[in-house]
């Protein structure tokens, strides 16, 4: 008889716990505070257009976006596809006498899911192949027309992915749609 009452109490406690527990979990999730995107967090950026010293000049904007979601403590902080501000830091066209062209990009900023600015630090550069030695050598020995040989352009192709690091700490509030 005693074991019957113990079993009955145990069943009652379990049924109350199971009926209350899901609501408790929802309350905890709903009261979840902001998450912090720390300084130095990695953001993978994808270049959305091809860039060369021939097509872009210093100071020009370049189309780029976040290549992978940035997640902190299981909370989406920066969504894939979010635009990233990228500018051309340096650009030069390939020149005569085999001089190579080059291009360098600065990764500057993006935004979080709650529209806060995240400053980024990152750079990507490319230099074309030069032919100065061959041009001068052949020009002196064979024909001055070889001095007009151009080097190759520095090219960064669309779809190139590279890493940037966050430059500020941001406290991000999880949007209602993620809860």
Domains and CATH numbers, the chain: 32-178 (2.40.128)
DSSP category for residue 72: E
d(CA 134, CA 149): 9
d(CA 7, CA 14): 11
Mean pLDDT of 33-38: 88
Question: Which range has the top average pLDDT, 51-60, 124-133, 137-146?
Answer: 51-60
Mean pLDDT of 110-122: 94
Exposure pattern of 52-68 as b/e (b: 16+ CB <10 Å)?
Answer: bbbebeeeeebebbbbe
Query: Is-contact 171 113, C-beta < 8 A?
Result: no
pLDDT of residue 81: 96
Burial class, 37, CB count within 10 angstroms (exposed 0-12 / middle 13-18 / buried 19+): buried
Lowest mean pLDDT among 20-29, 84-93, 94-103, 136-145: 136-145
Give the model's confidence band at 155: pLDDT under 50 very low, under 70 low, under 90 confident, else very high. confident
d(CA 74, CA 70): 10
> 44-74 pLDDT, tens per residue?
999 999 988 888 888 999 999 999 999 998 8
Beta strands in the chain (DSSP E): 35-37, 42-47, 51-52, 61-66, 70-72, 75-78, 83-92, 102-111, 117-127, 155-156, 161-166, 170-172
pLDDT of residue 140: 46
> 7-29 pLDDT, tens per residue?
677 666 676 666 665 554 544 44
Question: Which range has the top average pLDDT, 1-15, 43-57, 98-112, 116-130?
Answer: 43-57
DSSP category for residue 175: P
Mean pLDDT of 80-107: 81
The rounded mean pLDDT for the chain is 77
DSSP-based three-state secondary structure for 22? helix
State yes or no: pLDDT of 31 exceeds 60.
no
């Amino acid at each position: 008889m005693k074991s019957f009452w113990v079993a009955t109490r145990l069943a009652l406690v379990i049924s109350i716990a199971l009926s209350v527990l899901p609501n408790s979990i929802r309350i905890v999730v709903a009261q979840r505070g902001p998450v912090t995107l720390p300084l130095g967090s990695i953001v993978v950026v994808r270049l959305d257009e091809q860039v060369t010293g021939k097509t872009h000049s210093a100071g020009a904007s370049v189309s780029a976006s976040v290549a992978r979601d940035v997640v902190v403590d299981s909370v989406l902080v920066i969504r894939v596809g979010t635009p990233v501000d990228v500018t051309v830091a340096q650009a030069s066209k390939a020149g005569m006498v085999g001089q190579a062209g080059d291009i360098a990009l600065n990764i500057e900023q993006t935004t979080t899911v709650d529209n806060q600015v995240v400053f980024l630090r990152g750079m990507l550069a490319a230099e074309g192949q030069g032919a100065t030695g061959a041009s001068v050598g052949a020009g002196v020995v064979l024909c001055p027309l070889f001095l007009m040989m151009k080097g190759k352009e520095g090219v960064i192709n669309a779809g190139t992915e590279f890493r940037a690091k966050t430059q500020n700490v941001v406290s991000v509030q999880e949007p209602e749609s993620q809860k």
